[in-house]
Structure 1
Amino acid sequence: MTSATPAYVAIGANLGDAQATVRRAMDELAALPHTRLAARSSLYRSAPFEAQGPDFINAVVELRTTLDPLALLAELQRLEAEAGRERPYRNAPRTLDLDLLRHGDTTMQTAVLTLPHPRMDERAFVLLPLAEIAPALVSSAQLERVSGQRIERL
């Protein structure tokens, strides 16, 4: 794959068999067109953040893709829909949540996508798995700011 861009995707689920869902999502991301899976983090269990419901299972993957950010976002939303994702209200429990964190050095702010992800620095469930697979992208100061959030590596 020529000139593939590194893209980082956060994966989360807290309904049904969340561990199986997150693992399946990793495999589905690896099978996206014009994309290969470059790295996958461990699974993490975290308390809901600004939300209610069961604990989440989270992970982050690094993809190498020639899809542009909006095409990749469309694929992520397709996978969420296929997993039964519903959006009854903000931060509702979910069968599958796929967030595009970064797409190379792209910075953009549109009605449907902001890159880098605007709230990733606030969330231990994003920063810890991201630091595991891409330590250069996460500073110790960022990790310190989320150190009070409950999260465990599985």
Structure 2
Amino acid sequence: MSIAVVALGSNLGDTSATLDEALVDIRALPLVRSVTASTVISSTAITLTGPDPSKPRYANAVALVDTDLAPSVLLAALNEIESRHGRVRDERWGDRTLDLDIVAYGTVTSDDPRLTLPHPRAHERDFVLDPWLEVAPDAALPGLGPVARIREGLS
């Protein structure tokens, strides 16, 4: 049993419905015992050049996924869910119907270019840290420490 921390984001289409449907899809994956999701928050789009308030705002949430799926298998399943929801990967950090990122997977660390764990920018993103703290107030980011302390450093 491992707990995967999955960040969900959407800024195209019916973002709230898309996140709800993605959570249903994650719950339906084999070897997933439970999914605990945060409330949805809104955030400014982040682009390669930084925050861009001219872009559609994001709906963001975090889910704790209790699973026996290996991290790489979970990532493949999340990518399939993104595809079913119309995700197109034309532009790095571009607008998207659905973005599902594995932020952390238990205490696993990985430098694999296909799946870096923990997520290399999670500690910089209040739209990841705030919902994560809602569902896991005592959470820790492997290698960086308590999420609450990391979040305080962003203020």
Report the residue type matching 2:39 in the other structure: S
Determine the structure 2 residue equivalent to 1:102: 104
Q: Which whole-Å deviations, capped at 9, do the CAs of 1:78-135 have from their partners, x for residues lacking one?
A: 0011111011111100000000011111111112000011100000110000000111
- Residues 4-153 of structure 1 aligned to structure 2 (within 5 Å): 4-49=1-46, 50=50, 52=52, 53-137=55-139, 138-147=146-155
Distance 1:127 1:83 in 2: 24
Report the residue type matching 1:136 in the other structure: D
Determine the structure 1 residue equivalent to 2:142: none
Determine the structure 1 residue equivalent to 2:143: none
Q: Which has the larger displacement, 77-86 or 32-41? A: 32-41
Alpha-carbon offset, residue 51 of structure 1: 5.3
Q: Which whole-Å deviations, capped at 9, do the CAs of 1:56-81 have from their partners, x for residues lacking one?
A: 00000001111100000000100011
Distance 1:146 1:13 in 2: 23
**Identical residues among aligned pairs (%):** 41
Distance 1:145 1:90 in 2: 27
Aligned length: 144
Structure 2 unaligned spans of 5+: 140-145
Partner secondary structure for residue 138 of structure 2: helix
Distance 1:21 1:38 in 2: 16
Distance 2:33 2:51 in 1: 32
RMSD of aligned residue pairs (Cα, Å)? 1.3
Report the residue type matching 1:141 in the other structure: R
What TM-score, normalized by structure 2, do the two folds share?
Answer: 0.88
Q: Which has the larger displacement, 34-43 or 98-107? A: 34-43
Report the residue type matching 2:45 in the other structure: P
Distance 2:16 2:69 in 1: 27
